[in-house]
Amino acid sequence: MPGELVINQQTIKAGNRVIIDLPLPPLYGLTPMTMPVHVIRGRKTGPRLFVSAAIHGDELNGVEIVRRLLKQPALKRLRGTLIAIPMVNVYGVVHHSRYLPDRRDLNRSFPGSAKGSLAARLADLFMHEIVAQCSHGIDLHTGAIHRSNLPQIRANLDDAETLALAQAFNVPVLLNANLRDGSLRESAAEQGIPMLLYEGGEALRFDEVCIRAGLRGILHVMGHLGMIAARRKQRKAIKEPYVAKSSNWVRAPASGIFRTIKPLGGHVDAQEILGMISDPTSNTETEVISPHTGLIIGRTEIPLVYEGEALYHIARFEDHEGIAEQVETFQDNILPTNGNEEEAVIT
């Protein structure tokens, strides 16, 4: 992607690596706030990829993924441009909150408006200063608070270019997810920018498997785009990702204390027991039953549940047993082999 790159009125030339602080509205005590943006421009032209994290301020795995990404030796020979934003919703990170101080969800506020709410202004800034400058994007997420997600990619898989990026990311599960109104993914698609949404782990927690899977996935995509040289003998945890036909949440049939039986990433059959909800006063128990065969890609992590609360997210595939085996292999292979969490993914 040739041409001049200007962010916050600063021109970044080929071969340069800079950190730009995008100015944000200050806190009500007038403490200055900025959004840190790391820009690495290779000497040779190529794609411009943005990698963003913490659009939801309590989703922290992505912050660590970006930190490790920026330390990769392969970036010294980068083609094109990497724009990495470790904390988009800086306000939410400061307050351990998914949302902005105006109680809005930033990922439902795109493309935003320079004259709108705080969320709208932040979305507008991000679209103009970052997204509009790029050819591709990856947005990093986790499950909500007290919910864990299996590493997965959500994207418009009906688009051939996006599907190729999703397959290159190389996690076991791909979800063909509809574009949501006000989401970053929707606004990027309207500008013709293919992007992936990576999900993995739980809010306010680091998960080493999900962090390493996310970092490795980004590097795989960069290799696919020709931005870095892919390793010749790259070990692959899986042969090919599985695309889910559909997915749905299994909800609590009663209120009480929930005990899980099936693990995240586990295969379940139709009518299989997923867990038990006990009544602490009468000690009676209610079974939580899987309505269909599938793979658990999301699960609640808190035992206290209300009737109707989402407990298990189950995806359906053509080959249910095959995907379960792939997930187990992937999880075994993704962990460090020498006890060093910082070991290089691609050298």
**Residues 191-226: tens digit of each pLDDT:** 999 999 999 999 999 999 999 999 999 999 999 999
pLDDT confidence band for 347 (50 / 70 / 90): very low
pLDDT tens profile 11-21: 999 999 999 99
For the whole model, what pTM was predicted? 0.94
Q: Please state, in angstroms and rounded to a whole number, the distance separating the CA atoms of residues 72 and 219.
A: 9
Query: CATH for 6-224?
Result: 3.40.630.10
| pLDDT greater than 70 at residue 345 | no
Q: What is the pLDDT of residue 329?
A: 85
Task: Report the pLDDT value the prediction gives residue 326, as an integer from 0 to 100.
Answer: 85
Q: Which helix (H) or strand (E) holds 123?
A: helix 118-129
Categorize the per-residue pLDDT at 302 as very low, low, confident or very high, splitting at 50, 70 and 90.
Answer: very high
* Chain region(s) in the chain for CATH 2.40.50.100: 246-316
**In the chain, which residues fall in CATH 3.40.630.10?**
6-224
Q: Across residues 166-183, what is the average pLDDT?
A: 92
54: alpha, beta or left? (left if phi > 0; alpha if psi -120 to 50): left
User: What local confidence, expressed as pLDDT, does residue 327 receive?
Assistant: 86
- DSSP 8-state secondary structure symbol assigned to residue 247: E
pLDDT for position 98? 97
CATH fold, domain 246-316, is OB fold (Dihydrolipoamide Acetyltransferase, E2P) (2.40.50)
Residue 177: predicted pLDDT? 87
Distance (Å, rounded) from C-alpha 80 to C-alpha 222? 10
